Chains A and B, each alone.
Chain A
Amino acid sequence: MASWGRRSSGMVHHIKALSKVELRGKAGAMKGGWWRYPLQPGVASALVPRSWPCVNTMASLFLVQRFKSSLPQKQVEDDDGDQDLDFPGGKVAYTSEMKFISGSYDKRIPCYRVLGDDGELIKGGSDFEKVNKELAVRMYSDMVCLQIMDTFMYEAQRQGRISFYMTSFGEEAATISPAAALTKDDIILPQYREPGALLWRGFTLQEFVNQCFGNKDDGGKGRQMPVHYGSSKHNFVTVSSPIATQLPQAAGMAYSLKMDKKDACVVAFIGDGGTSEGDFHAGLNFAAVLEAPVIFVCRNNGWAISTPTSDQFRSDGVVVKGQAYGIPSIRVDGTDALAVYSAIRAARSMAINEQRPVLVESLAYRVGHHSTSDDSTKYRSLNEIEHWKTDRDPVNKFRKWVELNGWWSERDEADLRSSIKKQLLKVIQVAEGTEKPPLTELFTDVYDLPPSNLVEQEKLLRQTVNKYSHDFPSDVSLH
């Protein structure tokens, strides 16, 4: 430490000072002058203080040899005279008591809610963002719409009219409330069970159903399997099947948003199962390090296909994982539309104003099967499913609150439901009758511009189909 003060211009003196083995880093100008970056052989140039520009090459060669013979560093003393450990990453107090941090707190992190099961505001609770009639009615209508669409489309799959479907039963509030709390400039990266968010953004029933039928009016040109929606117009990134890949992507998008200085954030959804993926770690860690404005919403619905959360992790759910990355986190009742709305509003404000990631764990039981390829009665009790379906239904709960405010009546309910059903029937009929995408769409969008080999292949294929039309299905339009 003493030699730091004794700067002189002589090269020899510099090297002699170095030989005292108090290595200075780029932070050399700071009092105490501890190196900021971990020692790496060969990275010597990073350790030479900026004040010695011409010393770089020579001193760096010198320093490389010096690493091996370092004397132990002198410790810093803090104001109390107690010793602190000054280590890469920051100062940390010492302790003589050997104590392991427990794997879990005594009490689990509590779950934030605004409404009770009866749809009434919790007595004494006022820590939520008010929602006016227009917004509440719109949220409620979309929740009902999602529920009915899911019912119809699930049935359609069962009847063999579409190949696959996934429902959001039990998670209507968990996906619509976040969307309601965001602006249209916020980019959403879904996992695959968030059509509610897309519905809120304005994706029409016809567009949803067209995608499931993969017809020529599908915005996705029939490229993806059902429920893999996407729409850049609605700032909803196309659903991608591999789990959790959207998390590091979200960090990257948010970082780019930040570079553009936009008043917007990124919202990435993930399930409880997805938190086991390596990408969960990478995504959260990166977002924290890059200080990116992204909200990670974990829809903890209790099940990853047949894997219950008790087999998925041993932590207190997902909310506690945020702290490990330096990310503020909250656990919220995902069946409570108002609680989710408030939490996301607050998270958004934090993410954008403080330019940092936020983690929201939303607890909402998955009432339906994982997908149409699953029969969840095989691994969970009918009683359990029934309980969550009836007593804890988010749509019912919210309706009660909206009715209590005098904003909704039985008449409205009946009208809404019959209107949606009529629309859906029509929309499904139209979608089913619409032609499938034309042959051209087999070959477009592989690259930005069609490569010559694909242009040729298409030409050859057309010739073949024309010549042997009886060998090909009739629904492949050549136009």
Chain B
Amino acid sequence: MLGIVRQKMLEQSLKKIPPAVSVLRSYSSAAKQMTIRDALNSALDEEMSADSKVFLMGEEVGEYQGAYKITKGLLDKYGPERVLDTPITEAGFTGVAVGAAYYGVKPVVEFMTFNFSMQAIDHIINSAAKTNYMSSGQISVPIVFRGPNGAAAGVGAQHSQCYAAWYASCPGLKVLAPYSSEDARGLLKAAIRDPDPVVFLENELLYGESFPVSDEVLDSSFCLPIGKAKIERKGKDVTIAAYSKMVGYALKAAETLEKDGIDAEVINLRSIRPLDRSMINASVRKTSRLVTVEEAFPQHGVGAEICVSIVEESFAYLDAPVERIAGADVPMPYAANLERMAVPQVEDIVRAAKRTCYRSVS
């Protein structure tokens, strides 16, 4: 509860004071901090600078500097030909962007939230994802769809759904979900450089969070491989696999578990499609226990897919049934107390991990 309130307040205050990337860059201290917002902005800036074919499209991305200020400063720097403010038609501008990608340029399309991408989902799936296959390799679609995904705070049912599972079920698409600023920079750069259509799922509440970044991450050539997860915390007793904001929750749960003598290994999935099945399986073969965490609806979700992957490949290694933590199977309610009950909390993850370790959950 506290976490959400703190994040919400952070978000509000950040909206009032537009951050300046240049200020951060002038820090000369050893451990540089960078917000997700700046990580994304700098990644877009660098990729647009390196490749003149890259251009941005979306509602409010230009004059308004981005609904969440992710594209701040880019209109001024690259001009209206490369940063296009679109009319309100997700179906329309997604179609336009896909057409441009057919031609050979590299659009980065912003959805104000992925909830609105449903109005464009035919273009994402039928016009983008399937086209390389249907055209027998003649038409590639080097497009990136990005924007906030999943629950925010107090925005209700039509603004809170997580689309990771929907998009990740479709062959032809790649689906990424960054957690830290390093993820945000490296994966967005990789997505833009990738010749296939990529769905890039950000998280609104994480935009204002700062993470340490090394010089390597800040370098303009930095890039992360698509399809590889990251072990955020090494452990030996239970594997906790999560993506996006839930990675932060999983790490907090791991701290709590440590006090109880349970050493949790936290995996940051980073890539939902392709899923890094080998890393997840290797981890479970080491720990013998698995908890999957997602904010999304449980049915047909990412956790279900991971569970099946373990059952198919590492069944004999499991010492306990797989625990799946997910959001409640209801459209997201608005009232703050109900909303809190509809999404996973750190305590839910702790309890699930304890159950896999046969500990009593008091």
Contacts and interface: CB of A to CB of B under 8 A. Distances in A.
B16 to A, nearest CB: 9
B292 to A, nearest CB: 19
Interface stretch (A193-201, A283-291, A332-340): A283-291
Interface in B175-192: none
Given A43-B63, A447-B196, A448-B196, A278 B137 contact: no
Interface string B48-61: 00000000000000
B174 A43 contact: no
Interface residues of A, number: 52
B227 interface: yes
B22 interface: no
Interface in A210-265: 219-221, 223-224, 228, 230-232, 237-238, 240-242, 245-253, 255-257, 259
B95 A445 contact: no
Contacts of B89: 278, 281-282, 285-286
B122 A238 contact: no
Given A242-B126, A256-B105, A251 B96 contact: yes
A29 to B, nearest CB: 18
Given A223-B133, A446-B133, A259 B105 contact: yes
Interface string A430-466: 0000000000010011111001110000000000000
B175 to A, nearest CB: 12
A240 B98 CA distance: 13
Contacts of A446: 132-133, 171-172
A67 interface: no
B140 interface: yes
B64 interface: yes
Contacts of B137: 221, 444-445
Contacts of B127: 240, 242, 245, 249
Interface in B68-113: 81, 84, 86-87, 89, 91-105, 107
Query: What is the size category of the interface that chain B forms with chain A?
Result: 35 or more
A189 B93 CA distance: 17
B132 A252 contact: no
Please indicate which of the listed interface residues A247, A252, A286, A453 has the most CB atoms of chain B within 10 Å of its own CB: A252
A350 B134 CA distance: 33
B123 interface: yes
Contacts of B102: 237, 249, 252-253
Interface of A: 37, 40, 42-43, 46, 187, 189, 219-221, 223-224, 228, 230-232, 237-238, 240-242, 245-253, 255-257, 259, 278-279, 281-283, 285-286, 289-290, 441, 444-448, 451-453
Given A248-B91, A278-B89, A286-B87, 10 more contacts: A220-B135, A238-B134, A238-B135, A240-B131, A245-B123, A248-B92, A250-B99, A252-B98, A252-B107, A445-B137
